[in-house]
Amino acid sequence: MEPIRIFPSEVLKKIKAAKTLLVCAYPDEATCSKMKLPGAISRTELQALMPEVKKDQEIIFYCA
């Protein structure tokens, strides 16, 4: 599956509407904390949430 690119303004709307999870794609917390966007979570935080995440939940991963 090819990545789908979307505009930051669209991502912001989805985050504000609680329709998506924004996840920093870097595997280590140190890098992620430097690159963290407002409303984003780390991959570690996503893994902790996975038992509660619905299968149709949209998840957007980002990196520099």
Per-residue pLDDT of the chain (64 residues; tens, 9 = 90+): 788 888 989 999 999 898 899 999 999 899 999 988 888 999 999 999 999 999 999 999 998 7
Per-residue model confidence (pLDDT) at position 2: 82
How deeply is 55 buried, as exposed, middle or buried, from its count of CB atoms within 10 A (0-12, 13-18, 19+)? exposed
